[in-house]
Structure 1
Amino acid sequence: MSTTRQRDRCRERLEGMSRSDMSVDSFRNEAVLELRSIIGFDRWCWSLGDPDTLVPGCGVADHDYGPALARALELEFGGQDVATKDAIARRARPVGTLSNDTHGDLARSARWDEVLRPVGIGDTAIVACRDAHGCWGWFDAHRDRSDEPFVDDDLMLLADVAPTLALPLRRDLARSREPREVDSPPSGTLVLSLDLRLLSHTEPARRWLDLLPAAQLFASWGMLPAPLYPVATLAREGASQRARTLVCATNGTWVRIEAAPLMGTGGDIAVTIRSATPAETLDVLSRARGLTGRERELVALLVGGLDTSAISRRLSISQYTVQDHLKSVFAKTGVRSRRELVAALSGGGLVPGHGPNGHVDGD
């Protein structure tokens, strides 16, 4: 059991690391060590997320249910499980445990009963890495079945550091990415069965799969890249409005993955993978750069081709206020012109940086 002093020092150390120049990978590794020393856990997973749809993408992990990850994601997003990532991201306090949400009966969680229990996992604590701009991922801490469940002091610490854990994820998402000189494939389609087995795919879809993060690892486990499973599950369960996500491919291209049921097939699901449009990357990159709601609204109009006068009329504000907003946006994104701004927030990766220390708003 950690002391109040130890938890306070943990918060301070995590805060200092989150504001440092260390890479997001280094931060996650150090943060895991810090949290493990205070709250105690044996295995863990740290996934990225789409702040719009609250669908998890790829991430890093140290656990032993990798080959069953596809089934875990299907169960989690099938609409019946508890302490799910999307539900926790919507909570006032963005943290939860399987033991609390099942009232001590872990078997009430389908993913625990079928996936986690067979590898010896007991209680799991989940914190949404959420700040004022959105949810950027989740950290799952697993204890062994022989260990006691997480207690409220553990959850209070995780809730307190949620924005701290979010900042490096958001900062990394906001950084400029220069796409490699590799042609992105055209739109590709996969067809999955009702139980999410791959039935068929187009040749471009296979090329896209190879460009998604950790593709070879997932293939070695006999599964598709992880983001496809929650997206396909949501489509199967009738939540088509959320059955999509944005992922940055290994060649620097922003990728849109979306799913929909196929009519007249008995439940087959079509999953489409394609290059994201500038309009689709605009909101998530604007949030990642720390733009306010009003600033995002103004930038959307700017990207839509409106000039200062037209934006002023549309938003019912003076042209001077439009210019003030643009100055703030330029400062947060590190650009010097509207052209650079559009490139920076459309996934083009054309902006050399975003501030003297590479930091985004909120650092």
Structure 2
Amino acid sequence: MKSALEQGRTSITSLEKGSWTSRTYREAVLKAIHAVVPYDAYCFTTVDPQTLLSTGAVTEDGIEAIHDRLFINEYTEDDVHKYADLIRSNKPIALLQASIHAMPERSLRYRSILQPAGFRDELRAVLICDETCWGYLTLYRKADQPFFSEEEGQWIEEWTTSIARMLKRTSLSLMDEIKQGSPADPGLIMITDTFQLLSSNDSAQYWLTQLQRLELVGPDILPRPVRAVSSHLLSQTLSSAVSSELSAKSPSKVCIQLLDGRYLVLHASRMQQMTGPDQIAVRLEQAMPQDLLPLFAESHGLSVRERELLGYVLRSYSSKEIAAAMNISAYTVQDHLKSIFAKTSVYSRRELIWYFVSRFQLKDDRAV
């Protein structure tokens, strides 16, 4: 008769032979784990391996109800077992009660979020394949259930490589799921320099309708984001007419979140006519999770070094750790941070993290 460890390993690894979408695979993993390691609630999140930002979660109502507080805690509060900390420490598994049972004050997440919601313990796993993280798995037990045991944690750790490998394999299907319902081709519209619509393709008409719904305007109104990127293009054109420093120009691009959670990128460029006045072309297409952080950084004019530093901030690095990673002084770190604060109109590292991270809650089911 198979041990619980062997039973779980067989159940998890056998899933690698199936044909799955990202969501159906995660649902199957949760079912297989529950047969060996019981839990009362869960959150199974895929992440962009470059930024560690969530690309959607399979979760349930008990956790969805405290989603916002967990999200804020993860990115803006000091606490134990942060996902980014687990990745850096090369310890893929963390048991909450095993760490805090003698000192519950060590975890704000436990005191102010989990315990009031009726949860007693939490098991966290970071899912790493080929030294790259593809997701987080978090299991919860209610107040009337036993703590997660060290043995159960070891079992989950045994299975993380297989799970991460499948998250990597199904990442392309996740992108297809996120794009479901969106046009396959990019939208393209042509407008005059006074913002009169001249022509558009079917994809552009679809995205214009989404923007008009967002702004609560009629079909005869050109949405503000279109006018905004076009105005930026015109201002850049005027500035280049009096200056030859074309390298200083920033792209006429904006990223907008629609009502259903999707992100739309608009990019304006000037079309030089052989005869007659020039026209403005605006390209509209859905942004993918891996595109969003660079887009937001670009839209705020962050330098290459500032973008690099922002990446470390989002991974919860301290100023000292950032200085070591970037081979700069702690004073230079603070100078970069002050510049980023000014460009994004925030006043602290906590506000900066929340400003960026709160925009990346893309959903493939219900996101955490």
Q: Is 2:232 the partner of 1:162? A: no
Give the structure-1-normalised TM-score: 0.53
Say which SS state the counterpart of residue 167 (structure 1) adopts.
helix
Say which SS state the counterpart of residue 69 (structure 2) adopts.
helix
Q: Is 2:338 the partner of 1:261? A: no
Paired with 1:55 and 1:211, the residues of 2 have a C-alpha distance of 15
% identity of equivalent residues: 17
Moved more, 177-186 or 146-155: 177-186
Equivalent residue runs for 1:47-126 within 5 Å: 47-78=45-76, 80-126=78-124
Give how far 1:113 is off. Answer: 1.7
Q: Deviations over 1:4-32 (max 9, x none)?
A: 71220210111011232233322211211
Equivalent residue runs for 1:151-300 within 5 Å: 151-174=149-172, 177=176, 180-181=184-185, 183=187, 205-208=255-258, 210-212=260-262, 240-242=310-312, 261-262=341-342, 266-267=347-348, 269=352, 271=356
Retained in 2: the 8 A contact 1:102–1:109? yes
Paired with 1:36 and 1:106, the residues of 2 have a C-alpha distance of 27
Retained in 1: the 8 A contact 2:75–2:357? no
Paired with 1:173 and 1:115, the residues of 2 have a C-alpha distance of 31
Paired with 1:127 and 1:20, the residues of 2 have a C-alpha distance of 23
Say which SS state the counterpart of residue 115 (structure 2) adopts.
helix
Q: Which runs of 5+ in 2 are unaligned?
A: 188-203, 212-223, 229-253, 264-288, 298-307, 316-339, 360-368
Say which SS state the counterpart of residue 39 (structure 1) adopts.
coil
Equivalent residue runs for 1:344-355 within 5 Å: none
Give how far 1:180 is off. Answer: 2.1
Give the structure-2-normalised TM-score: 0.52
Say which SS state the counterpart of residue 116 (structure 2) adopts.
helix
Paired with 2:49 and 2:127, the residues of 1 have a C-alpha distance of 10
Q: Deviations over 1:342-361 (max 9, x none)?
A: xxxxxxxxxxxxxxxxxxxx
Counterpart code for 2:126: A
C-alpha distance 170-161 of structure 1, shift in aligned 2 (>3 A):
same
C-alpha distance 271-155 of structure 1, shift in aligned 2 (>3 A):
closer
Give how far 1:48 is off. Answer: 1.0
Retained in 1: the 8 A contact 2:75–2:314? no
Q: Which structure has more RCO (C-alpha within 8 Å, separation ≥ 6)? A: 2
Retained in 2: the 8 A contact 1:125–1:142? yes
Give how far 1:266 is off. Answer: 4.4
Q: Deviations over 1:205-240 (max 9, x none)?
A: 544564439xxxxxxxxxxx9x99xx99xxxxx972
Paired with 1:51 and 1:168, the residues of 2 have a C-alpha distance of 14
Q: Is 2:177 the partner of 1:127? A: no
Q: Deviations over 1:233-263 (max 9, x none)?
A: xxxxx97233569xxxxxxxxxxxxxx5346
